[in-house]
Amino acid sequence: MTGPLDTDDQDDPPPPAAMASARDALALETIEVDLFVEALFRRYGYDFRDYGKASLTRRVRNLATGFGAATISDLTARMLHAPERLPDIISGLSVPVSEFFRDPHVFLALKERVFPLLASYPEINIWQAGCAHGEEIYSLAILLTEAGLYERTRIFATDISKAALNRAAEGIYPLQEAREAGRRYRAAGGSASFSDYFHARYELMKLDQRLAANVTFAEHNLVTDGVFCEAHLVLCRNVLIYFTTPLQDKVLQRFAQSLVRGGFLCIGTRENLEFSQARNRFQLIDGAAQLYRLLPGAGGA
């Protein structure tokens, strides 16, 4: 009779042949992902070569499954010979994850520490890079409206994914998100009611289109495209975490070049400039919000 302490055969390591097979499969997958990324760049100009390998590999795997491809090499062949599927490829490789007033303390910091200074400009340009499905765009537009700044503000909302941009421009979201969005709106310093800014119908909410009146939605690739506009505030939240350090430095340099003298940069709460080459270009304004200001002479527009 086997007792409760008899663990023989329960924790035996896999046989050497199985381990060798697993290592070989992993090495082969790495080669396939590298070839896929190189083919995507050479065929269409989208450069994912300096994206974080672990997250990129997961997304390529998911793409292969979604396309019904037997292998990543099969996915590569389909991508090369079916350019009409490129929007689906780019949409699958991007990470359009966001929510209204995500990290409310960040929006509160913008309202209290940045908006009063933006108010000194007759015209205000804001660049939201990696806008995903647009929740943060509308969140920002709401607070700018309540601060009396929206009428003289132009927001440039960019993303690599055309599908994400189309959803952002529609401004339609599940109604079930409204209650939690309203809670975060109040925590972000909202002065009215979140329900004032959308119309509900068929379990969906459509944001008031006046919030998009001063928004320009545009495709832009942070890896290969240049400075997008002259901005007083750049927001790029939870995008840099998917880049390698050299690519982060390249993008941050582009943001510095885009900002006006004394302009502001806001990045994700899990990101920071501590180990970046750009750390000497910016002054930390709020560590919890990862809010920075461009130092004088640091390459502003």
How does pLDDT run across 211-263, given as a tens digit for each residue?
999 999 999 988 888 777 899 999 999 888 888 888 889 899 999 999 999 99
The 10s digit of each residue's pLDDT in 176-197 is: 999 999 999 999 999 999 999 9
**Domain span holding position 40:** 16-93
Structure confidence at residue 59 as a pLDDT band (50, 70, 90): confident
pLDDT at residue 84 greater than cutoff 90: no
Residue 88 is assigned to a structural domain of this protein: yes
Tell which of 93, 123, 158 closes a domain. 93
Q: Is 299 within the bounds of a domain?
A: no
pLDDT reading at 8 higher than 60: no
Q: How far apart are CA 289 and CA 272, in angstroms?
A: 10
CB neighbours of 202 closer than 8 A, spacing ≥ 6?
none
* In a shared domain, residues 139 and 189: yes
CATH code of the domain containing 264: 3.40.50.150
How far is 77 from 208, CA to CA, in rounded Å?
43
In a domain, 67, yes or no: yes
* Nearest partner of 185 among 268, 269, 104, judged by Cα: 104
99 located within any domain: no
Look at residue 17 in the predicted model and tell me its pLDDT. 60
207, 156: one domain: yes
- 168 domain-assigned: yes
Answer whether residue 41 is part of any domain. Answer: yes
Residue 203 has pLDDT above 60, yes or no: yes
Averaged pLDDT, 109-122? 96
Residue 44 lies in a domain: yes
Given pLDDT bands bounded at 50, 70 and 90, which one contains residue 56?
confident
How much is the pLDDT for 44?
Answer: 81
276 shares its domain with 139: yes
* The model's pTM: 0.80
Q: Identify whether the C-beta of residue 118 lies closer than 8 Å to the C-beta of residue 149.
A: yes
Give the per-residue pLDDT at 19: 60
The continuous run of DSSP H or E covering 56 comes out as helix 53-66
Per the structure, the count of domains in the chain is: 2
Lowest-confidence region among 20-24, 115-119, 279-283: 20-24
